[in-house]
């Protein structure tokens, strides 16, 4: 016996002891003069318990058994009243003992009760709990609703410069740094402000050639002047600098480096008097309107993030302020020690308060997903191999249903398969109900391997759809002589959707082929829609 089975058995024994103690107390109270007996309700399987003491022995089931004795019915026959095949007979007080013929119980002073194929209470592993027991156990239920979860991932990171907002200023020609207007790294500069002045002797010869040609007149001089301008451009002169030479008519050997935007000098690589060679980096300018923040996110949560997700960030260096941003990228690298992925976030920094190295706390919103079914997380029983919820049905019945659980956020769990919107699930007391159902063989049914292809005899009939529900359909069919069935309405199990006609609805006329299933409703193996009869 595994630990789970031991726990279930102990839970059930404890429940039976409690019921027995309640009965003993009731007898003592009646013996002390109380004239109004209080009923002792019980959890039963395969019957509807009520608070009427006259119904606790399930007289409806006993009446059916007596009728079966009278009509010579037994296990395997179809009850003409219910339209369902009789599986066996059992004593509700002695689970696990089944009989093929109707009779009086050999264990108790009562009749056996029939169990039908396709019966929710008897065949689907459901458990019936009387309203009084539900009240005593404090059973609470909640509806299955539709919605989407928005989860939040938190991370701590450090601020860094946005490298996409960085510009490198380099030398275009051989020259000398005569003057620097910025003296140190991290100096702030404004757009259009002078940064450095360079003397470039290589430009002198090209400018003098152009100016000499500009003084000439006659045919062909325009072509020569255009060629001289082209040589100035090839020497590294900017269009604005060439225009100053043309407008002034004088040699312009000095060049002033201008800041293209407002920012800071993140790196200064030259000093006054230094020689600059072509391609040499003079300094780097960095915009500060946005910055990066890189946070370590557990790889299990990183799968919930997508580029563009909204981020809210706070920092001890800017108390009381929140900086908005977006996830720019999830860096394709996992830290082998911490099992985290770095999320790069781009933050707005209009006042320049965020600077590299500053610590920030980030709250990253997971983008909204498509709507799905949601249940309270307390309703889901995780067994290690599967997830189960107890579904509350009419008549005080509770049925365990295996579900596919997804993300859990804020006490809500996504359910991708197993439930339908509007059903109610049990929030408290479901472990007791689950243990009772497990003792009725539910665990074995959930664990059993898929049945091999059926070799049973198949039957064919016409039918009309009355209702559709999940994987079952309610049909009205004419008499089926091979099964000795009269015309009646009953449930059938539908084939896979790939084998069904599209857009089935109530009122459709069908031609079906089906086979019987031991312990379940007949299973349709093939169906096709047929045209309505003339005049219909």
User: Lowest mean pLDDT: which of 38-52, 104-118, 275-289, 427-441?
Assistant: 38-52
What's the token pair of residue 290? 């946005």
Distance of alpha carbon 485 from alpha carbon 188, whole angstroms: 93
Residue 122: pLDDT above 50?
Answer: no
pLDDT band (50, 70, 90) for residue 430: low
At CA 120, angle to CA 118 and CA 124, rounded to 5?
80
Distance of alpha carbon 115 from alpha carbon 96, whole angstroms: 12
State the average pLDDT for the chain. 77
> Among candidates 439, 357, 435, which has minimal Cα distance to 94?
439
H helix intervals, 106-237: 120-123, 131-137, 202-215, 221-234
> Residue 28: what pLDDT?
41
| pLDDT tens readout for residues 223-240 | 888 888 888 888 888 888
Residues facing 467 on adjacent strands: 474
Tell me which residue has tokens 């019957």: 47
Exposure of 6 in the CB half-sphere (CA atoms within 13 A): 3
Which tops the pLDDT comparison, 248 or 97?
248
What's the token pair of residue 382? 């995780």
Distance of CA 355 to the CA centre of its chain: 37
Residues facing 405 on adjacent strands: 415
Contact by Cβ (8 Å): 521, 117? yes
> Residue 141: what pLDDT?
86
Length of the chain: 536
> Residue 2: what pLDDT?
47
Distance of alpha carbon 355 from alpha carbon 103, whole angstroms: 87
Q: Where are the beta strands (DSSP E) in 393-477?
A: 397-409, 412-417, 424-428, 458-469, 472-477
Distance of alpha carbon 146 from alpha carbon 370, whole angstroms: 10
3-state DSSP call for residue 103?
coil
Give Cβ neighbours of residue 30 (< 8 Å, ≥ 6 apart).
Answer: 37
| pLDDT tens readout for residues 358-417 | 999 988 776 566 778 888 888 888 876 778 888 888 767 777 888 888 777 778 888 888
Q: Which residues of 32-49 are buried (b: 16+ CB within 10 A; e: fewer)?
A: eeeeeeeebbbbbbbbbb
pLDDT band (50, 70, 90) for residue 3: very low
Distance of CA 100 to the CA centre of its chain: 47
What's the token pair of residue 186? 């991290």
Q: Please, is 424 exposed, middle or buried when counting C-beta atoms within 10 Å of its C-beta (0-12, 13-18, 19+)?
A: middle
Distance of alpha carbon 468 from alpha carbon 524, whole angstroms: 14
Distance of alpha carbon 273 from alpha carbon 52, whole angstroms: 106
Contact by Cβ (8 Å): 431, 446? no
Contact by Cβ (8 Å): 179, 152? no
Contact by Cβ (8 Å): 155, 364? yes
**pTM score of the predicted model:** 0.44
188-189: strand order across its sheet: 166-170, 281-286, 263-268, 188-189
Residues facing 527 on adjacent strands: 512
For residue 343, the 8-state DSSP code is E
> Residue 462: what pLDDT?
92
Average pLDDT of the residues in 325-342 = 87
Cα–Cα distances in Å, from 505 out to 39, 444, 477, 488, 494? 46, 35, 16, 19, 13
Distance of alpha carbon 201 from alpha carbon 31, whole angstroms: 123
Distance of alpha carbon 148 from alpha carbon 413, whole angstroms: 10
Residue 453: pLDDT above 70?
Answer: no
Give Cβ neighbours of residue 262 (< 8 Å, ≥ 6 apart).
Answer: 188, 189, 190, 191, 287, 288
Contact by Cβ (8 Å): 364, 327? yes
> Residue 219: what pLDDT?
73
The domains of the chain, with CATH numbers, are: 1-38 (no CATH), 39-123 (no CATH), 153-162+288-365 (2.40.30.170), 169-283 (2.40.50.100), 377-447 (2.40.420.20), 458-529 (2.40.50.320)
Percent of all residues in the chain with a pLDDT value above 70, rounded to a whole number: 75
Q: Please, is 195 exposed, middle or buried when counting C-beta atoms within 10 Å of its C-beta (0-12, 13-18, 19+)?
A: buried
Distance of alpha carbon 362 from alpha carbon 234, whole angstroms: 50
Q: Which stretch, 215-229, 241-255, 391-405, 510-524, has highest mean pLDDT?
A: 241-255
> Residue 93: what pLDDT?
62
> Residue 133: what pLDDT?
65
Q: Where are the beta strands (DSSP E) in 59-207?
A: 86-90, 98-99, 113-116, 127-128, 140-143, 145-147, 152-161, 166-170, 175-180, 188-189, 194-199
> Residue 127: what pLDDT?
67
Q: What number of other Cβ atoms are within 10 A of residue 444's Cβ?
A: 10
């Amino acid at each position: 016996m595994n630990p789970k089975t031991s726990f279930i058995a102990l839970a059930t024994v404890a429940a039976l002891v409690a019921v027995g103690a309640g009965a003993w107390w009731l007898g003592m109270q009646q013996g002390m003069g109380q004239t109004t007996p209080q009923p002792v309700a019980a959890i039963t399987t395969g019957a509807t318990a009520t608070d009427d003491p006259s119904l606790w022995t399930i007289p409806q089931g006993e009446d059916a058994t007596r009728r079966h004795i009278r009509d010579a019915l037994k296990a395997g026959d179809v009850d003409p009243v219910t339209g369902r095949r009789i599986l066996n007979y059992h004593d509700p007080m002695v689970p696990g003992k089944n009989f093929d013929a109707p009779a009086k119980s050999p264990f108790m002073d009562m009749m056996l009760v029939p169990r039908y194929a396709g019966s929710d209470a008897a065949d689907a592993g459901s458990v019936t709990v009387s309203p009084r027991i539900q009240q005593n156990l404090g059973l609470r239920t909640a509806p299955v609703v539709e919605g989407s979860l928005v989860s939040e991932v938190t991370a701590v990171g450090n601020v860094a410069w946005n490298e996409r907002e960085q510009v490198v200023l380099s030398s275009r020609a051989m020259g000398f740094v005569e003057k620097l207007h910025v003296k140190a790294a991290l100096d702030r500069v404004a757009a259009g402000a002078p940064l450095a002045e360079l003397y470039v002797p290589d430009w002198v010869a090209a400018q003098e050639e152009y100016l000499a040609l500009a003084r000439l007149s006659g045919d062909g001089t325009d072509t020569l002047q255009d060629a001289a301008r082209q040589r100035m451009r090839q020497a590294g002169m900017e269009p604005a600098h060439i225009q100053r030479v043309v407008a002034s008519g004088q040699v312009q050997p000095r060049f002033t480096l201008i800041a293209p935007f407002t920012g800071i000098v993140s790196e200064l690589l030259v000093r006054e008097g230094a020689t600059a060679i072509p391609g040499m980096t003079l300094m780097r300018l960095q915009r500060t309107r946005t910055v990066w923040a890189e946070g370590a996110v557990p790889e299990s949560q990183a799968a919930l993030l997508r580029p563009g997700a909204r981020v809210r960030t706070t920092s001890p260096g800017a108390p009381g302020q929140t900086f908005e941003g977006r996830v720019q990228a999830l860096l394709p690298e996992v830290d082998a020690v911490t099992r985290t992925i770095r999320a790069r976030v781009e933050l707005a920094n209009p006042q320049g308060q965020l600077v590299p190295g500053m610590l920030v706390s980030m709250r990253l919103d997971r983008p909204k997903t498509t709507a799905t079914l949601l249940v309270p997380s307390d309703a889901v029983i995780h067994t290690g191999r599967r997830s189960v919820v107890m579904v509350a049905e009419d008549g005080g019945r509770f049925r365990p249903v295996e579900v596919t659980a997804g993300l859990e956020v804020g006490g809500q769990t996504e359910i991708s398969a197993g439930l339908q919107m509007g059903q109610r699930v049990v929030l408290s007391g479901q472990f007791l109900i689950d243990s009772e159902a497990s003792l009725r063989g539910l665990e074995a049914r959930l664990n059993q391997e898929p049945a091999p292809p059926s070799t049973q005899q198949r039957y064919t009939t016409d039918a009309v759809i009355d209702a559709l529900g999940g994987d079952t359909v309610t049909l009205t069919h004419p008499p089926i002589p091979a099964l000795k069935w009269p015309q009646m309405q009953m449930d059938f199990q539908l084939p896979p959707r790939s084998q069904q006609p599209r857009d089935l609805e109530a009122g459709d006329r069908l031609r079906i082929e089906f086979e019987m299933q031991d312990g379940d409703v007949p299973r349709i193996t093939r169906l096709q829609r047929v045209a309505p009869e003339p005049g219909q």
